[in-house]
Structure 1
Amino acid sequence: MNRHHVEKILYLCYPICVYLILFGFQIHPAFELVQWTSPLPPLHACSTNPKDIRKEAEQLIINFNNRIKVMLFSAIVNAYYAGFIPVCFAQSALFYDVLWASQHILFIFESSFLALSEYVLSLRFYDILHRSALHVGSWEKIETSKSMLLVNSAWKDEVLWPRGTLVKYGKDVWRATGDCNSCEPGNSGLSKFYCLFKNPTLIIAVQFVIHLATVLYQLYLLVCRLYWYKIFSLVFVLFYNYCIIYKMTRGYFICSGIYKEEEEMHKKNNMR
C-alpha cells in the first residue's frame, strides 16, 4: 500500500464498472461467452406464421446484441489488464514509450475483439440470422404525392407479403422489397436486421478489411523498428493475428460462394 497510491489499487476494479454498465447485475455474462435467453440455442424455425417470424427475429436481435456486448467487455478486459495495468503500476523511475504502449493496448483490444468474433459470431450463427432476415423482409416507403397509386390492400400482421406488393399502413404507402415480407412497415429495428443479414458476407468483409489494415500497419512498424523489445512484441502479436486473418479469409470465401449462389437462385425465381 505504501508503494502504490489508493487510486492505483482502484484501477484494478474499474472493469467492474464497465461490467455493470453493460450487463447490470447479471452474473452469467461473466462466465459464458455464448449465451441465449431461451432454453434452446438460437435456431431458425422457417415458419410460415408472420407473428412467429417477427418474434424469432426480435429474439435473435437481442441475442446478437448480447454477444456484441460480451465481446466488447472481454476485449476491454484483455486490453486493460494486459496493456494498461502494467503501465499503470510501473515504477516512476522507469521510462517507457507512451505512444508505443498506447498502440500496444489498441492492438490487444482489436485482436481480442476479432478473435472472439470468430467464436461468438460463428458462420453458423450468421447463417441463422441470414435465414431469419430473408423471412422478415423489408418495406420501402413510397412518396404518394409524386405518383398516383390506387392501393386497396391494407397491411395485415398475419399475412406474408411477396416482393413488389403495395400496401397501406397508416397514411403511407409501402412497397415490399424482400422476397418474403413479414415485418411491420416502418419498423426500423427489423429493417436494419434485414439490411445487415440479408448478406452476412458484407459484415465479414468489413471485419476482414479492418484486421488486414491492422496487420499491414504492424508489418510496417516491424520493418521500421530497431529496438529489440518492440520487434518481439510485434512478432508475438502478428503471429496471433495471422491465425485470425486466416480464419476470416476462409470464412469470407465460404460465405461469399454460398450466398452468391443463393442470390442468383432468388433472381432466377423472381424472373419467372
Structure 2
Amino acid sequence: MEDNGSRSPNNNVGLPTHIPFPEYGVTHDLFNEVITFTFVLFCTMMQFLHIYKTVWWLPELHQTETLHWELIDTHLLVFIGVIISRRLIYAVLRLIIDHTFGANKKKIKFYKAVVKYSYISVCLVILTVCLIQIFLRHGYLALFCLSYPLAIYLFFFGFNLNHLLQVSTDSGGSYINGMPMHCCSTNAITIRDEIDFLKTDFNVRFKQIIFTSVLNAYFGGCVPCFFAQKVLSYDMLIAIVNIIFFWLGGFALSTVFILPAKYCDILHRASLHLGKWVFVEDSGASKVHLWSKGFSWEEGAIAKHNEKLYRSVGAVTTAVPGNGSHNRFFKIFNNPSVTFMVLSMAMAVIVIVQIMLLYFLAIEWHNIICMGFLCMTNNFCLFKVLRDYLITQRIYSTEMSLYEKKFNTHFQ
C-alpha cells in the first residue's frame, strides 16, 4: 500500500439515499398478454387483408367476399394462430391454477408443471401436423421459412422452453410479483453478486424484447407475403411498411411491459450501491490505497488496481476498477430517466411519421385502418413511456439534490 496522507478505505461508508417509488399503473401479466395478442392478431389480419383483398364494392364483378379465402392456406392460419396465441393461453391456464390451488403451493407447482408440459405437447402436435401439410403443398422452402425462427430462439435462449411461454422468467434470484428484489447491503461482495444477478435478468428481458418483436413481425408480416399466391398482385411497398411498423409497435409494447419504470428503479437502486471508477493519470492525492474487494469506497477516493489509479464516483463505490460491465450498468441505470427520455423522443418520431404516412400514403380503406391502428398503439406506448420519464425525472433529480446536499455538508 502506498501511504502518503488522505482518506482511508471504509467498510462502513453507509447506504445511498433511496426515494420510495410511487405505486401506479402496474398491469397484470395477463392484461399485457391480451394487449400484445390483440395487437399481433390485428396486424396479421391487416397483412392478410392487404394481400388477399377483393374489390367487393364493384357490383359488376359479383364479388361478395372481402378476401380470397380459397387462396389462403388453412394450415398456415392455424400455425400462425398457435404461435401468436401461445403465451396468452398459457397465462390463462396459469391464472386458473393459481385461483384453484391458491393456498397449496406444492399442488400449484405440481399442476403448473403438468399443464406446462401438456400444453407444450399439444402445441407441438398441432404445429407438426400443420408443417407436414404445408410441406406437402409448398415444399422444402416453406418448411425452412416456418422453422427458421427456431434457430433464432436457440441462439437467444438455448433449450429453455420457459422463454417461449412466458415473457418474464426467474433468473435464479429472489422475486416478488415478477420483480427481482433489491437488498440494501453494505457488503461490497454481496452488492456485486446482486449486480451480476440483475445484469443477467436485464439481459434476458432485453433478449426477450428483441425475440418477441421480431417473431411477431415475422409471422404477422413476412410469412403472409412469402405464402402469397403468384396470381395475386398487391402493393409490396405497403406490405414492407406494414412489416416495419409491426416490428416497431411490437418492440415498443414489449419494452413497456417487460421493462417498466418500477423494474428500472430496482436496477437504479442497485447502481447507487455499485458506483463506478474513473481512470486517472495522476491522482494528486497524498494517500493512495490498494483496491480491496471487501471494501466500500467514498466519493473521490483514490485506489490502485492492476498498476493503474482510479477515482471513485458515487455515494458508495463497490465496483471493480476497470470492469466494463460494472461501468455500463452504472452508466445506464444511474439515471434511467435519460433512457425514458430517449424512448419518448423515439416514440414521438414514430407517431409523427405514421401520421404523415397515414395522410400521404394510406389511400385504400384497409391501409387507413391498419396505419390508424398502429398509430393508436404507438400513442398508447408513448403515453406510458412519457409518464415514466416525467415520474422518474422528478424522483431522481430530487434524489441527486439530496445527495449533493449531504455530500457538501459532510466535507465542509
- What TM-score comes out, normalization by structure 2 length? 0.63
How many Å apart are 1:69 and its aligned residue?
0.7
User: Which of the residues 80, 90, 97 maps onto 2:228?
Assistant: 90
Moved more, 98-107 or 56-65: 98-107
User: Which of the residues 144, 156, 164 maps onto 2:292?
Assistant: 156
User: Is 1:37 aligned with 2:175?
Assistant: no
How many Å apart are 1:220 and its aligned residue?
0.3
Which of 1 and 2 has higher RCO (CA within 8 Å, sep 6+)?
Answer: 2
Aligned length: 270
Q: Which runs of 5+ in 2 are unaligned?
A: 1-134
User: Is 1:207 aligned with 2:340?
Assistant: no
Preserved CA contact (<8 Å) 1:54 1:136: yes
User: Is 1:251 aligned with 2:388?
Assistant: yes
Cα deviation 1:222-264 (Å, max 9, x = unaligned): 1113222321210111121121111111111111111111111
Q: Which residue in 1 is equivalent to 2:148? A: 14
Q: Equivalent residue of 1:176, what SS?
A: strand
Q: Equivalent residue of 1:221, what SS?
A: helix
Moved more, 3-12 or 18-27: 3-12
**Structure number with larger C-alpha Rg:** 2
Counterpart residue identity of residue 143, structure 2: I
How many Å apart are 1:31 and its aligned residue?
1.3
User: Which of the residues 216, 232, 238 maps onto 1:78?
Assistant: 216
Q: Which residue in 1 is equivalent to 2:366? A: 229
How many Å apart are 1:148 and its aligned residue?
5.3
Q: Equivalent residue of 2:290, what SS?
A: coil
User: Which of the residues 28, 33, 36 maps onto 2:162?
Assistant: 28
Counterpart residue identity of residue 371, structure 2: L
Preserved CA contact (<8 Å) 1:162 1:176: yes
1-side partners of 2:222 and 2:170: how far apart? 32
Preserved CA contact (<8 Å) 1:141 1:172: yes
How many Å apart are 1:150 and its aligned residue?
4.2
Aligned CA-pair RMSD: 1.5
Cα deviation 1:98-147 (Å, max 9, x = unaligned): 22211211111111111111111111110110000000000011113xx7
User: Is 1:120 aligned with 2:289?
Assistant: no
How many Å apart are 1:178 and its aligned residue?
1.2
Q: Which runs of 5+ in 1 are unaligned?
A: none
How many Å apart are 1:8 and its aligned residue?
1.9
Q: Equivalent residue of 1:204, what SS?
A: helix
Q: Which residue in 1 is equivalent to 2:79? A: none
How many Å apart are 1:2 and its aligned residue?
6.4
Moved more, 170-179 or 54-63: 170-179
Preserved CA contact (<8 Å) 1:201 1:256: yes
How many Å apart are 1:3 and its aligned residue?
4.9
- What TM-score comes out, normalization by structure 1 length? 0.95
Runs of 4+ with >4 A deviation: 147-150
Preserved CA contact (<8 Å) 1:53 1:182: yes
How many Å apart are 1:149 and its aligned residue?
4.8
1-side partners of 2:197 and 2:211: how far apart? 21
Moved more, 55-64 or 238-247: 238-247
Counterpart residue identity of residue 224, structure 1: F
Preserved CA contact (<8 Å) 1:151 1:168: no
Q: Equivalent residue of 1:161, what SS?
A: coil
